[in-house]
Amino acid sequence: MNDSTQYALEERVAEQHRHHGNRRFFYVWGSLLVLTAVEVYLGYQNMEPKKMLTILMGLSIIKAALIIAYFMHMKFEASAMKWLTMCSLVFCLCMMVVFFSGCVPFAQSWSKCSMRMRLFSLALLLVFWGAPAFAQGCAMCYSSAAGSTKEGQKAISRGVLILLTPPIGFMTIGAGLAVRYGKKRDDAYRNTDHEG
Amino acid sequence: MSEAAVQHGIPNVYEPSLFGTYSKKIGMWLFLLSDSLTFGALLYAYSYGRISTPNWPTPFHSESILNATIMTAFLLTSSLTMVLAVSAAANGKKSALRGWLLATMVCGLGFIILHGREWSNLIAEGLTLPVFPPVPGHEASVEFANVSKTVPQFPATFFGLTGMHMLHVTIGVIYLGIVALRKLFIPILLVLWAAGYYLIPTYSPFHYGVHVLLVSAIVCGIILWLRPKVYDSADVEVAGLYWHFVDLVWMFIFPLVYLMSTKIV
């Protein structure tokens, strides 16, 4: 991106601030303080933990949305930025529910599913997650790679493989250690049961 | 690469950004997305422990809740001052920018001090981890000592989650200090490190934690030496994104860790 584009973008931010004024930020700040006070009040109510967790997290999500929208200016960003970043974040956090289903009240039914079903869903989600990669079509990168010499193209291919090796290696070691630990733990439990 | 294109004066060599904004802002958003997954995993794990453990302790008395509420107010106010700093930077008001940045740092520092004081009190009362040395001259309360023994995952998750957040706030204050004062901030960091190291007693985890300031001073020194520059409004906005993220994460930690473990008399 060249300098003039950057200045134009900075000017846009300044214009947004001039247009909306700072009063709006004070309103958001006040709302956040009020929501915090409501949370503290709820903290002293003798509620069932799951119900309380749901209400408190709901309020926290509203607070987070206010911070992201106004303080972090997401409301004034381009729609591509808004949708891609927020959808990615929500999607990735929802994927964690697959593993931590027991802690989210509305996902309790997940804990009744078998582990195989969960792993299948996770694999399916990962496959869908990879789909946008096919739509990238970065014309400049592709044309510059296609325009280079055969040696250059070979070097790019090798570079991709080399860059792929460390993450896959680390993942493999991590997964191997996790499986080994799981087996060891199961054996220990089994031995304890026999002794018991 | 882009500098080379600009120097040669070739117009429209690069496509305009898909996101309609400058690259360092997109970079910061990507970092924040990845960091939110780190905190997301920690918060999910904490929630899991909270819900699935029937005898989960509720040790936070009203003093702790009041302390945490004031800490929350500090962070929310710091977000307001930060957004005013971004506004001042966008409108080219340099003195106002520096003032609002320093106000944000003061609020962040207030948060760290209150949090550190609370940690120290809890450790002295017996809510501790095996790696923390015992506090001499302090009798641990039976309640907290029992919590550490019967539900060890409580202190582990509490110190893990809040410690990770405290580290982020500390880095945020340093980041803002560098944006506001540039290389002038490095001697301040070093003085704070030396003072912290010699004044904080050796049994406190902060005696070792204060080394974060030394590491930060070295890293910031190298960055400023390699690429000295006057930070513009875009840099202030990017720093603001980080600061608001730190505030945002606390909006989840506060209810989950403190309010879900309130001692109701």
Predicted confidence band at A20 (pLDDT cuts at 50, 70, 90)? low
* Residue appearing with tokens 């001042």: B88
For A111-127, how does the pLDDT look when each residue is reduced to its tens digit (9 = 90+)? Answer: 556 666 667 777 777 76
Predicted confidence band at A128 (pLDDT cuts at 50, 70, 90)? low
**Predicted local confidence at residue B1, as pLDDT:** 41
- A vs B, Cβ pairs < 8 A, gives 177
Q: Tell me how crowded residue B57 is: count the other CB atoms within 10 A of its CB.
A: 19
| Domain ranges within chain B, ordered by starting residue | 24-261
Q: Return the percentage of chain A with pLDDT > 90, whole number.
A: 17
The Cα–Cα gap between B211 and B85 comes to 29
Contact residues on chain B for A59, CB-CB shorter than 8 A: 255
- Best mutation target among B19, B46, B100 (most A Cβ atoms within 10 Å) is B19
Contact residues on chain A for B21, CB-CB shorter than 8 A: 9, 77-78, 81
Determine contact, residues B248/A67, Cβ cutoff 8 Å: yes
The Cα–Cα gap between A48 and B84 comes to 40
pLDDT surpasses 50 at B9: no
The DSSP secondary structure of B182-237, one letter per residue, reads GGGHHHHHHHHHHHHHHHS-TTSTHHHHTHHHHHHHHHHHHHHHHS-----HHHHH
pLDDT surpasses 70 at A66: yes
The mean pLDDT value for A30-41 works out to 94
Query: In this predicted complex, what is the ipTM?
Result: 0.86
B256 Cβ neighbours under 8 A, 6+ residues apart: A53, A56, A57, A60, B43, B46, B47, B50
The Cα–Cα gap between A12 and A89 comes to 26
**Predicted local confidence at residue A108, as pLDDT:** 56
**Predicted local confidence at residue B50, as pLDDT:** 81
**Predicted local confidence at residue B63, as pLDDT:** 86
The Cα–Cα gap between B12 and B25 comes to 21
Predicted confidence band at A164 (pLDDT cuts at 50, 70, 90)? confident
* Nearest Cβ partner for A78 among B19, B45, B48: B19
User: Does A66 lie at the interface with B, CB-CB under 8 angstroms?
Assistant: no
For B101-123, how does the pLDDT look when each residue is reduced to its tens digit (9 = 90+)? Answer: 999 999 999 999 999 999 988 88
Question: Counting beta carbons within 10 angstroms of the beta carbon of residue B241, is it exposed (0 to 12), middle (13 to 18) or buried (19 or more)?
Answer: buried
Pairwise CB contact (< 8 Å): B33 & A89: yes
pLDDT surpasses 90 at A36: yes
Q: Average pLDDT of chain B?
A: 86
The Cα-based distances of A118 to A125, B51, B194 in angstroms read: 11, 21, 52
Report residue A164 as tokens. 């792929």
The mean pLDDT value for B149-170 works out to 90
Pairwise CB contact (< 8 Å): B20 & A57: no
**Predicted local confidence at residue A71, as pLDDT:** 92
3-state secondary structure of B95: helix
For B46-90, how does the pLDDT look when each residue is reduced to its tens digit (9 = 90+)? Answer: 888 887 787 888 888 888 899 999 999 999 999 999 999 999 998
Predicted confidence band at A35 (pLDDT cuts at 50, 70, 90)? very high
**Predicted local confidence at residue A140, as pLDDT:** 59
More confident residue, B48 or B7: B48
More confident residue, A161 or B197: B197
For B91-100, how does the pLDDT look when each residue is reduced to its tens digit (9 = 90+)? Answer: 888 899 999 9
For B182-235, how does the pLDDT look when each residue is reduced to its tens digit (9 = 90+)? Answer: 889 999 999 999 999 999 988 888 998 999 999 999 999 999 998 877 888 889
For A134-153, how does the pLDDT look when each residue is reduced to its tens digit (9 = 90+)? Answer: 555 555 566 677 777 888 88
Pairwise CB contact (< 8 Å): B37 & A92: yes
* Residue appearing with tokens 């039976």: B142
The Cα-based distances of B65 to B106, B163, B248, B262 in angstroms read: 22, 17, 19, 7
**Predicted local confidence at residue B109, as pLDDT:** 95
Angle at A53 between CA B243 and CA B126, to 5 degrees: 75
Q: Return the percentage of chain B with pLDDT > 90, whole number.
A: 49
Residue of A nearest to B48 (CA): A103
The Cα of A54 is separated from the nearest Cα of chain B by a number of Å equal to 10
Pairwise CB contact (< 8 Å): B86 & A1: no
* Nearest Cβ partner for A63 among B6, B36, B251: B251
* Nearest Cβ partner for A1 among B17, B69, B245: B17
More confident residue, B194 or B26: B194
- Best mutation target among A13, A61, A141 (most B Cβ atoms within 10 Å) is A13
* Nearest Cβ partner for B264 among A44, A72, A92: A44
Residue of B nearest to A3 (CA): B6
Pairwise CB contact (< 8 Å): B87 & A56: no
**Predicted local confidence at residue B190, as pLDDT:** 96
* Nearest Cβ partner for A1 among B22, B56, B92: B22
The mean pLDDT value for B151-161 works out to 88
CATH of domain B24-261: 1.20.120.80
**Predicted local confidence at residue B3, as pLDDT:** 43
**Predicted local confidence at residue B250, as pLDDT:** 95
The Cα of A41 is separated from the nearest Cα of chain B by a number of Å equal to 9
* Nearest Cβ partner for B241 among A72, A103, A104: A72
User: Does A60 lie at the interface with B, CB-CB under 8 angstroms?
Assistant: yes
The DSSP secondary structure of A14-43, one letter per residue, reads HHHHHHHTTHHHHHHHHHHHHHHHHHHHHH
The Cα–Cα gap between A49 and A53 comes to 6
Predicted confidence band at B129 (pLDDT cuts at 50, 70, 90)? confident
Pairwise CB contact (< 8 Å): B50 & A70: no
Q: Angle, to 10 degrees, between the axis of helix A150-195 and the axis of helix A139-147?
A: 120
Pairwise CB contact (< 8 Å): A40 & B73: no
The mean pLDDT value for A22-43 works out to 92
The three-state (H, E, C) secondary structure of A60-116, written as one string? HHHHHHHHHHHHCCHHHCCHHHHHHHHHHHHHHHHHHHCCCHHHCHHHHHHHHCCHH
A78 Cβ neighbours under 8 A, 6+ residues apart: B19, B20, B21
pLDDT surpasses 60 at B2: no
User: Does A131 lie at the interface with B, CB-CB under 8 angstroms?
Assistant: no
For A69-119, how does the pLDDT look when each residue is reduced to its tens digit (9 = 90+)? Answer: 999 988 888 888 888 888 888 888 887 777 665 555 555 555 556 666 667
pLDDT surpasses 80 at B151: yes
**Predicted local confidence at residue A148, as pLDDT:** 77
**Predicted local confidence at residue B212, as pLDDT:** 94
Pairwise CB contact (< 8 Å): A49 & B33: no
Residue of B nearest to A91 (CA): B37
The Cα–Cα gap between A116 and B113 comes to 48
User: Does A33 lie at the interface with B, CB-CB under 8 angstroms?
Assistant: yes
Residue of A nearest to B18 (CA): A80
Contact residues on chain B for A63, CB-CB shorter than 8 A: 248, 251
**Predicted local confidence at residue B264, as pLDDT:** 67
The Cα of B246 is separated from the nearest Cα of chain A by a number of Å equal to 11
